[in-house]
Structure 1
Amino acid sequence: MLLGDGSGEILKLCAETFTGKQRGALVVAVPTFEAILLNASANGADVVKVPLTGSFAHDLPKMMAAAKGGLIYVCNPNNPTASITPKDELRDFVEKTPGGTMILVDEAYFHYADSPDYESMIPLVQDHPSLIVSRTFSKIYGMAGLRCGYCVAQKETLERIRPHQMWDSVNIMALAAASASLDDPDQVPNGQRLNNEAKTFTIGELDKMGYKTIPSQANFIMFDCKRPVLPLIKAMKDRNVHVGRLFPPVPNHMRVTIGKKSEMESFLNAFKQVMA
């Protein structure tokens, strides 16, 4: 295991270690979490973007076909769509990907995924030296500002990554908070319960209004507004409700983080006004 200054540092380290003009391209889905794309580009690597499937899963066969060495990045559950790539497909993908290509599975939203079609890839690390799985304390543990994350990989893989990391990148406050969070048996189940309650309420209200949500396995939702979302984002901001930015591959979809139920009621009230 390797600790990082949030899982964002882990993604950056993987891009620096496994992509570049000599090492190979970064292969990603689109849309997905974009930080690692910038990291790979800064490292001189090409970035190959493969659209999600119609069910908003990673198109793993096309991603594998596009990779020649380098790194394949799979965000599962995916950000910004909150969708998952089924466990059987992902497991088969890890088994079949050639050894010269590294795979990074980003499980930042792991704790929110309750679908029977989802499972962590950490158990596969033991038998696959090309597999890296990242996690973060920023989501279910509420530590986004403190910055603490980690990855799980085989020892030889970690030894390739470690030289790219600066000394003492994780601060003592983050380590203390992470330790306290792990010692609290109620932290995760309480967070899951509160998220599920507010998310179920919000999705239900949007459904009554005729707006369909991509099945969410995270602490946010993405739904089709049936019109360009950019003016809606601005109109919501004018009502002091801030939602996610535009994601060009899905220009009619809005990304909304799940907060307290009272906050989601405020979102729904503002959204009704904007769409009237």
Structure 2
Amino acid sequence: MTPKNELADFISKTSPQTMILVDEAYFHYADSPDYESVIPLIKDHPNLIVARTFSKIYGMAGLRCGYAVAQPETITQLSSHQSWDSVNIMAVAAAGASLNDPDQVTNGRRLNQETRSFVTTQLDAMDFKYIPSQANFVMIDVKRPVLPLIKALKERNVQVGRLFPALPNHMRLTVGKKSEMEAFLSAFRQVLA
């Protein structure tokens, strides 16, 4: 995630004729004040669009539902390119119900932070480095090519993220329930032995 001050600087230096799309898919997970939303900047930047999704903290990845925040004229322009059936009614109903649950985001953020902290504490104890995260995943430096580890974990019914070619020694671990993270850590220790 990019800190708000860096995004604000980029937005202010970008030509008003260039549309800027900021993806805030992981915004709700952030627990640092450095990662505030840029939605307040929309009022001064008609070329700014902020996208959010119900796939992450709301747990509705399969429904493929999200929304955009922008100035009214920009939304009108975007709407002219949207087909009438671009989002199914089940996704709209689920998204609405989630927005009406005031504890959804707070509880999701708290559970993610607790479990992410548990995982990173265990990784610290195992002397593994990782990229600090404000999201629902951790990129772990496994100190070796990651593909054999991914395959070995899969053989133990533990699924982890795909290979990132720019980080061939890093494993992307999505933070799930504590019991899932305990299962991952157990299998991870086995494949490293």
Q: How would you bin the TM-score normalised by the shorter chain?
A: over 0.9
1:178 matched to 2:102 = no
Residue aligned with 1:213, SS = strand
Alpha-carbon RMSD across the aligned residues, in angstroms, is 1.1
For 2:10, which of 80, 86, 93 is the aligned residue? Answer: 93
* Correspondence list, 1:1-276, <5 A: 84-276=1-193
Give the drift of 1:141.
1.0
Q: Which amino acid counterpart does residue 7 of structure 2 have in structure 1?
A: L
Gaps of 5+ in 1: 1-83
Q: Which amino acid counterpart does residue 147 of structure 1 have in structure 2?
A: R
Structure (1/2) with the larger helix percentage: 2
- Once residues 92 and 147 of structure 1 are traced to their aligned partners in structure 2, the CA distance between those partners, rounded to angstroms, is 31
Q: Which amino acid counterpart does residue 205 of structure 1 have in structure 2?
A: Q
Residue aligned with 1:125, SS = helix
Give the drift of 1:156.
2.5
Report the number of matched residues.
Answer: 193
- Once residues 207 and 196 of structure 1 are traced to their aligned partners in structure 2, the CA distance between those partners, rounded to angstroms, is 16
Q: Which consecutive segments of 4 or more residues in structure 1 shift more than 4 A?
A: none
CA-to-partner distance for each residue in 1:10-61, whole Å, 9 max, x for gaps? xxxxxxxxxxxxxxxxxxxxxxxxxxxxxxxxxxxxxxxxxxxxxxxxxxxx
Give the drift of 1:160.
2.8
CA-to-partner distance for each residue in 1:130-187, whole Å, 9 max, x for gaps? 1110001111111111221001112222233223221131211111111111111221
CA-to-partner distance for each residue in 1:94-125, whole Å, 9 max, x for gaps? 11111222111000011101112111011111
- Once residues 100 and 249 of structure 1 are traced to their aligned partners in structure 2, the CA distance between those partners, rounded to angstroms, is 32
TM-score with structure 1 setting the length: 0.68
TM-score with structure 2 setting the length: 0.96
Q: Which amino acid counterpart does residue 126 of structure 1 have in structure 2?
A: K
Gaps of 5+ in 2: none
Give the drift of 1:90.
1.1
Give the drift of 1:88.
1.2
- Once residues 103 and 46 of structure 2 are traced to their aligned partners in structure 1, the CA distance between those partners, rounded to angstroms, is 34
Residue aligned with 1:167, SS = coil
CA-to-partner distance for each residue in 1:61-114, whole Å, 9 max, x for gaps? xxxxxxxxxxxxxxxxxxxxxxx2221111111111112221110000111011
Percent identical pairs in the alignment equals: 73
Residue aligned with 2:21, SS = strand
